[in-house]
Structure 1
């Protein structure tokens, strides 16, 4: 039996942060970071809440790839007040941290036989990539390893997509987060848990990303491109929270955690090799998987008269998109020594094999398969 769930109520378009004036409550706990504070969006959030008589407590200790120490600090800060609202304002790391803070508090209270009343949870993303504002996923670093927590309980109640929040994003972040959203859509599309509902979302996300990401990369002031890419990220998030992901993410989690590479860039460096592995065109091609890649080629109006032609053309389109975004070809381009990579590749493959995203990959890999993907992507 399959199910399809979209939990958050979504408000979108420029200026949609004003919805904060409409919420009811007495105290809000705001999880954010130094960037949003510096850009003034944190103060803007506090001001909106003040207009409704809601007092605020702010936690800005979140950093990229938040670890358990950050989560523990956030839990301590949360417990110092009686918040009936939590607002996550920032990129994927901020929203993931907010989810993990709530989830950990819930688990600790439950273990103690105590009740934990979940506050109204609002997510306001400042990047367009993770789709975390609509998912039940949270990725946290523990002892150098990226741990993926999945639970419907963590999903935000409300998502606010205000495209003005991403108008200061650097080009490299536009590229990395944009490809991250693309990987979400592609992996949801070929997942063993894909459905007609998730396929429709994934196809639309792919179409929006290919149609607007180059424009946004070249001119982040383009408000239409900003909004379209933000929508694509959210739509891809809806797809993968229902269909799950695959080994592109499993491998990226291990690679990023080992060599401290951003999640989006890790996904980008592995994408072409993973598509090639899943389609398996050079051997006994998996027709179902290759046909799905070919359908994505058709969505992009590329020649796809056969599944082989469509898959090859889709792979080429992905390669050209990455090149236009300044994304290098190969893990080696990041300055990682081949000997150091070789020493770590076995352990990374083990981590990826155990990752929560691996079971829904369309082609079930062995440890040796994953090592081979890493080596080819290097």
Structure 2
């Protein structure tokens, strides 16, 4: 028996931030970064809270690839403030930080009171990039800076209760970030479409997300003021999040987590760089085998209107379509183009593979993998 549950209320379109006026709580803990404060985005929230007479506290120390130490600091502040509502605003790092804080907060509370009496704070997520889909998922990724490891945490208790998908917060996102985060959306949706737990229900969200990326990402990249493109990409990110939180991801993310932690590559860029190589491997098109996995990739080409007269042609069309999209947004196609020294790469490859094999995303990859397979993928991704 499988389960599909949409537990997050989603509010979208311009000015959906007005949903905050419906908050019933009395104490709001805001998790964000310093840039959101400087851009004035936090003021849009606190203005509403002040007007309602709601007490609030800001934790604005979020950093890219949130660390265990940052989450602990936010946790201690939250325990002291004792909020009934959490508002996370920012990119995936802010939302993931809030999730990590909430996860450990509930663990602490469980030790102090009877579990049946725990009042979980209302969790509201407001994404300011169109990328992670974290506003509707039960996933969070935390960085262990001591061991250079990204640790995925999965818990239904971290899923936001409300997601506010207001594109007004993303119109100032620079082109390079638009590209990285948009290709992260594409990776989420494609991996969800072929993952072991994919279904008719997840396919609907994954397909629409993929269509939106190919139709609107380049427009948003070229013109940040294109409201339609921004809104559609924001929706695509959320839809991809719904898809992968139910279907799972795969080795694209496992390797991106390990690569990103080791070489400090932005997560979306690491995903984008690896995606063509992962599709080639999972589909097996260069191994004289046409698998059910290859059929799934080819089906994406059919949905997009790419050439797909045979399964192999469909897979190749998808790979080439992704490469062209990346090229138009100046995304590197190999790790060597990112100024990673070959000696440094060689020294790191075994550790990267080891960590990727242990990553939670690997178990839902459509094709079972061995360490040797991941090494070959990385070798190709380094020099092509």
Q: In structure 2, do the counterparts of structure 1 residues 111 and 355 end up closer, same or farther at CA, with 3 Å as the change threshold?
A: farther
- Aligned-pair CA distance for 1:18: 1.0
Q: Deviations over 1:37-71 (max 9, x none)?
A: 01101011011111222111000000000101100
- Aligned-pair CA distance for 1:285: 2.3
Which residues of structure 2 form unaligned runs of 5+?
A: none
RMSD of Structure 2 on Structure 1 (CA): 1.0
**SS of equivalent residue, structure 2 residue 151:** strand
Q: Deviations over 1:9-46 (max 9, x none)?
A: 00001111011111111110000111110110101101
Alpha-carbon distance in structure 2 between the residues aligned to 1:131 and 1:285? 34
Query: Is structure 2 residue 303 aligned with structure 1 residue 299?
Result: yes
- What is the aligned partner in structure 1 of residue 140 from structure 2? 138
Q: In structure 2, do the counterparts of structure 1 residues 335 and 114 end up closer, same or farther at CA, with 3 Å as the change threshold?
A: farther
Query: Is structure 2 residue 36 aligned with structure 1 residue 36?
Result: yes
- What is the aligned partner in structure 2 of residue 19 from structure 1? 19
Q: Deviations over 1:73-100 (max 9, x none)?
A: 1011111212111000100000000000
Q: In structure 2, do the counterparts of structure 1 residues 85 and 280 end up closer, same or farther at CA, with 3 Å as the change threshold?
A: same
Among residues 300, 303, 310, which one is paired with 2:314 in the alignment? 310
- What is the aligned partner in structure 1 of residue 213 from structure 2? 209
Among residues 209, 224, 238, which one is paired with 1:234 in the alignment? 238
Query: Is structure 2 residue 350 aligned with structure 1 residue 346?
Result: yes
**SS of equivalent residue, structure 1 residue 282:** helix
**SS of equivalent residue, structure 1 residue 106:** helix
**SS of equivalent residue, structure 2 residue 366:** coil
- Aligned-pair CA distance for 1:112: 5.4
TM-score normalized by the length of structure 1: 0.98
Alignment of 1:185-334 (within 5 A): 185-334=189-338
Tell whether the 8 Å contact from 2:290 to 2:312 is kept in structure 1 after alignment.
Answer: no
TM-score normalized by the length of structure 2: 0.97
Alpha-carbon distance in structure 1 between the residues aligned to 2:56 and 2:113? 29
Which residues of structure 1 form unaligned runs of 5+?
A: none
When structure 1 is superposed on structure 2, of 188-197 and 101-110 the one drifting more is 101-110
Tell whether the 8 Å contact from 1:290 to 1:308 is kept in structure 2 after alignment.
Answer: yes
- What is the aligned partner in structure 2 of residue 120 from structure 1? 122
- What is the aligned partner in structure 1 of residue 102 from structure 2? 102
- What is the aligned partner in structure 1 of residue 10 from structure 2? 10
Q: Deviations over 1:137-175 (max 9, x none)?
A: 000001221000011111000000110100111111000
